[in-house]
């Protein structure tokens, strides 16, 4: 083993260990764990300038993109695995409206707002705006992260209406693929893939994700047969390893065939999570660990590849985008939860619960690793928006729930 590799293993092992400790400490002091992990990454010198000699950076953008894509596979698969149709049936319709139509409209409205803000003659808007850039920004922040919300609501555990929590979790489980599809479309438009018309480009991208959905369903169905019955009993404690191997095989094969491996992972998890003949508790317990490790690595990567001065440079954009997100989120919730059985207080709380997390981080790193000129500006922008959401919006959730009287309706 080379000294450079040994150094990298030691540093990343230490960072991951500290990230685990910070995540555990965050639960005790009632702040989001991902917030502390992001700060840890920001405070770590990725360039290792203090070491003698020509030492390469801890993490390059290309390596960060590869880690982020793999981490997103594990996060999306776990999201599908923990989505139980029967338990969530009472809130399935309103949650699907928010996750699909709500995410789509959110991305489109934010696209228009970004294009409009680009016309404001301010010196901080140094990036030339275009439709692909605006669409990517809208797609990047249109999905929500329920895990951050649930972690913040631990002080009110079992004191909030179950239907309200189910709505927040179900929406988050289904809106990630929408963000991935729209971001993929924006990146394809920006990179000029294909020489056909915009309609042909849209059709090609949609075909990629439809193929991913189909292969995910077929792969999940085959995995169900493999992980059920006597085969699962024979695997015993190796069942989580077997399921992880099947997942990696499915994602890799889907990408090679031209489909979306991310969407295939989510659909496969959804199929397995609702299969009555699989050992679902064992799979959920195992992949909860995989997903947590993936999230920690994802947030560490984001903090490492972004310099604090880059976040400061994009702070005006981040604040404006954050304010626009809050406005659009409130509007979508009011429109799409009409006649859903939720009163105004519950709707206001759902609107405030739209925190952003892993998906914007992974999509931003993907854009930065691409040859697109504006890609490098996406990680600090996404990081600024996530930090604002966790630090301002997130910490207000518990006081808001109590003030609205929601914690008394358990």
Query: What is the tens place of the pLDDT at every residue in 93-110?
Result: 898 899 889 999 999 999
For 409, other C-beta atoms within 10 Å of its C-beta total 16
Alpha-carbon distance of 332 to 347, in angstroms, equals 10
Cα–Cα–Cα angle for 123, 114, 171, rounded to 5 degrees: 140
Please check whether residue 51 is in contact with residue 38, taking contact to mean a CB–CB distance below 8 angstroms. no
Q: Taking residues 71-96, what's their average pLDDT?
A: 84
At residue 271, does pLDDT exceed 60? yes
For 53, other C-beta atoms within 10 Å of its C-beta total 6
Closest CA relative to residue 141, chosen from 332, 1, 400: 332
Asked, for residue 40, whether it belongs to a domain, the answer is no
Query: What is the tens place of the pLDDT at every residue in 240-264?
Result: 888 888 899 999 999 898 888 888 9
Asked, for residue 175, whether it belongs to a domain, the answer is yes
Domain harbouring 357, CATH code: 1.20.1530.20
Query: What is the tens place of the pLDDT at every residue in 303-342?
Result: 888 888 888 888 888 898 899 999 999 999 999 998 888 8
At residue 74, does pLDDT exceed 50? yes
Closest CA relative to residue 304, chosen from 44, 34, 21: 44
At residue 134, does pLDDT exceed 80? yes
Please check whether residue 191 is in contact with residue 119, taking contact to mean a CB–CB distance below 8 angstroms. no
Asked, for residue 19, whether it belongs to a domain, the answer is no
At residue 15, does pLDDT exceed 60? yes
pLDDT for res 357: 81
- Indicate the SS3 state at residue 84: coil
Asked, for residue 228, whether it belongs to a domain, the answer is yes
Closest CA relative to residue 351, chosen from 171, 227, 212: 171
CA-based end-to-end distance of the chain: 57
Asked, for residue 345, whether it belongs to a domain, the answer is yes
Asked, for residue 307, whether it belongs to a domain, the answer is yes
Asked, for residue 25, whether it belongs to a domain, the answer is no
Q: Exposed, middle or buried: residue 131 (CB in 10 Å: 0-12, 13-18, 19+)?
A: middle
- Indicate the SS3 state at residue 141: coil
pTM of the complete model beyond 0.85: no
- Both tokens of residue 93? 């319709």
Closest CA relative to residue 174, chosen from 216, 209, 143, 207: 143
When pLDDT is cut at 50, 70 and 90, the band that residue 136 belongs to is: very high
pLDDT for res 20: 84
Total domains in the fold of the chain: 1
Cα–Cα–Cα angle for 373, 69, 56, rounded to 5 degrees: 65
Asked, for residue 48, whether it belongs to a domain, the answer is no
Residue 254: enclosing H or E segment and its boundaries? helix 239-256
For 391, other C-beta atoms within 10 Å of its C-beta total 13
pLDDT for res 215: 92
Supply the range of the domain harboring residue 163: 63-408
Query: What is the tens place of the pLDDT at every residue in 155-198?
Result: 666 778 888 888 888 888 788 888 888 888 888 888 765 545 66
Residue with tokens 């992974």: 362
């Amino acid at each position: 083993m080379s000294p450079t590799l040994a150094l990298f293993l030691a540093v990343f092992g230490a960072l991951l260990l500290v990230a685990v400790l910070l995540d555990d400490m965050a639960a005790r002091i009632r702040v989001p764990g991902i917030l502390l992990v992001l700060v840890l990454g920001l405070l770590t010198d990725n360039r290792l300038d203090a070491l003698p000699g020509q030492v390469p950076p801890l993490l390059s953008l290309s390596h960060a993109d590869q880690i982020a894509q793999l981490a997103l596979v594990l996060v999306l698969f776990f999201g599908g695995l923990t989505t139980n149709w029967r338990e969530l049936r009472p809130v399935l319709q309103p949650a699907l409206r928010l996750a699909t139509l709500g995410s789509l409209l959110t991305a489109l409205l934010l696209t228009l707002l970004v294009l409009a803000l680009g016309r404001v003659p301010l010196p901080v808007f140094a990036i030339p705006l275009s439709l692909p850039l605006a669409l990517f920004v809208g797609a990047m922040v249109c999905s929500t992260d329920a895990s951050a919300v649930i972690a913040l609501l631990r002080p009110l555990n079992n004191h909030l209406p179950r239907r309200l929590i189910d709505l927040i979790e179900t929406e988050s489980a289904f809106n990630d693929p929408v963000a991935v599809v729209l971001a993929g479309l924006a990146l394809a438009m920006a990179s000029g893939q294909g020489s056909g018309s915009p309609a042909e480009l849209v059709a090609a991208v949609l075909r990629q994700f439809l193929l991913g959905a189909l292969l995910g369903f077929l792969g999940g169905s085959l995995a169900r047969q493999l992980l059920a019955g006597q085969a699962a009993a024979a695997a015993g404690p190796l069942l989580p390893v077997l399921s992880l191997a099947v997942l990696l095989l499915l994602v890799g094969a889907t990408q090679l065939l031209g489909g979306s491996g991310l969407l295939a992972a989510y659909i496969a998890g959804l199929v397995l999570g609702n299969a009555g003949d699989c050992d679902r508790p064992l799979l959920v317990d195992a992949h909860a660990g995989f997903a947590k490790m993936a999230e920690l690595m994802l947030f560490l990567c984001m903090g490492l590849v972004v310099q604090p001065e880059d976040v400061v440079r994009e702070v005006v954009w981040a604040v404006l985008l954050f304010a626009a997100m809050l406005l659009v989120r409130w509007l979508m919730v009011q429109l799409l939860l009409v006649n859903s059985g939720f009163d105004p207080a519950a709707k206001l709380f759902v609107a405030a619960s739209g925190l952003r997390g892993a998906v914007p981080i992974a999509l931003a790193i993907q854009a930065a690793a691409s040859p697109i000129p504006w890609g490098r500006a996406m990680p600090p922008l996404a990081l600024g928006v996530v930090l604002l959401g966790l630090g301002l919006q997130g910490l207000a959730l518990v006081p808001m729930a109590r003030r609205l009287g929601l914690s008394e309706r358990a």
